Amino acid sequence: MSTEAAVGRTGCLEEEDQYEACDPSSHHIGKTKASLLMRPIAHCGDFGAKSIALQSITREQDVQTDPYSPQYICTPGPQPKELAIAHLSWSRGLPATSREIRAIQELQLQRRLDEVLPPPTDEFCLAIRTSLMERQEVLKWAQRERDIRGASSSRGSCPASACHKNEDQERGSSSKAAEDLKGTLAT
């Protein structure tokens, strides 16, 4: 049996062969193979057996790690667009849902607006820049308010509907119990 093939789940099979290769003396008689395996190899002699760690074929969910996200190094100059979404990682925004996609689109819109804004060199350009920035700020606040209303309406409707369902179930079960009690008393 080769050394590579001798490695098993419970240890090194070569060690088992060593135990079997020992002189069958009187102290081995009546003992099971498992109890012989518990003896140290030193009693049989050193045959150069090595214990090798194995990775199991099945994957344990608890020991799995997040997919690798490499670090980045920025060169001097304009920042790449991808760094705007660098905070997203596996299990924190990825895989992207509709909310993350909308946030990415808003970041792209903000970048385009920043590119289009005139520089604040004179009074006219400063007024245009200020009005565009104010409009963008108003749009952001309106979107935030819509998000908050949507979250509160979905959060508010769930407990109310659950309470109504529970009350209906309780009424149904109590009325059924009352009818059963009336039926038993009538007989």
Which of left, alpha, beta for 73 (phi over 0: left; psi -120 to 50: alpha)? beta
Higher pLDDT, 91 or 122: 122
| pTM, full prediction | 0.38
**22 in a domain, yes or no?**
yes
Domain count, the chain: 3
Structure confidence at residue 26 (pLDDT): 47
Residue 74 lies in a domain: no
Pair of tokens at residue 2: 């080769």
Residues 35 and 49 in one domain: yes
pLDDT per residue as tens digits for the range 138-180 = 999 998 999 899 888 877 665 556 656 666 666 666 777 777 7
How many other β-carbons are positioned within 10 Å of the β-carbon of residue 14?
A: 20
Which residue, 96, 116, 136, sits at the end of a domain?
116
Q: Domain check: are 86 and 98 in the same one?
A: yes
Q: From the CB of residue 172, how many other CB atoms can be counted at a distance below 10 Å?
A: 10
> Do 104 and 133 share a domain, yes or no?
no
21-48, pLDDT tens digit by residue?
Answer: 445 554 545 555 555 455 454 445 556 6
